[in-house]
Chains A and B, each alone.
Chain A
C-alpha cells in the first residue's frame, strides 16, 4: 500500500516548456487535490476533483490544467511554464465523507523550478 505517490520528485523547466505531474493513489479515494506551497504562503489549492471525470478550480488555478481520467490518477499540467510557477507541488486524496475525521492524505511533493 503505497498511499499517495507523485512523479517526478524534482524537475527543472525552462520558461515556456510544458510538463505533466502525475499523482496516483491506491486507497480508492474519491477526492483528489493539487496544492502548491510557496515560502511564507502555506498551501494553496490549485484544482481538485470529487470523482473520476470531474475537476474544479481551486484558489490559484491560472496557468494549470488537470485531468482525472481514472479514479486513482490525477494529473496536473503546465502548458507554458513561467518562473512564477516555481514551487513545491503536493497532491492529496481523501475518502468520501464518513461522518468523522477524514483528513487528506498527502503525497511526498514535487519540487519544480522554472528558469
Chain B
C-alpha cells in the first residue's frame, strides 16, 4: 500500500538560510507523482511543486526545489533563502498511476512538518 512518511514534526530555520524538509514514500507502482503543499496558519492549502516519477531532473519552482532520489524513495523539499512568510505546515503527498480513473488519481498525504522561520 502506498504511504508517505514525514519524520520531522517540527523544524526551525534562521531567516535567509536554506532548509530541507524530508519526505519518504512507499509504492509498488512505477508511475507516480509527488507533490508538496504549504498550509499557512490561515488554513488554505497551497500547491508548491510537483515531481513525476519519470522526470529525470529535479523539479524547481522559484525558491522551492525537490530533491528526488528515486532509488531511496525520497522526495525532500528544499527551501532556499527562507523568509518569515515560509512559516507554515508543509505536506508531502503522492499520487499513484498515470491518470485518474478509479483511485489512481487520489492523493495520499503525509502528516506534515511545521516549519518555523526565526528572524
Interface set of A (CB-CB < 8 Å, partner B): 30-31, 33, 40-45, 48, 50, 56, 58, 88, 90, 92, 94, 96-97, 100-101, 103-106, 108-109
Contacts and interface: CB of A to CB of B under 8 A. Distances in A.
Nearest to B44: A108
A103 to B, nearest CB: 4
A101 B33 contact: yes
Contact of B43 (A96, A97, A109): A109
Interface stretch (B68-76, B79-87, B98-106): B98-106
Nearest to B45: A106
A104 B44 contact: no
Size bin of chain B's contact surface: 20 to 34
A106 B44 contact: yes
Given A50-B100, A88-B43, 9 more contacts: A33-B107, A40-B9, A42-B109, A44-B109, A48-B106, A58-B106, A94-B100, A97-B98, A106-B44
A77 to B, nearest CB: 20
B12 interface: no
Contacts of B108: 45
The majority secondary structure among interface residues of chain A is strand
A40 B100 contact: no
Contacts of A56: 102-103
B43 A41 contact: no
Nearest to B39: A37
B25 interface: no
Contacts of B93: 43
Nearest to B4: A42
A35 to B, nearest CB: 8
Given A31-B105, A50-B100, A103 B91 contact: no
Centre residue among B35, B52, B109 by max chain A CB count within 10 A = B109
B45 A90 contact: yes
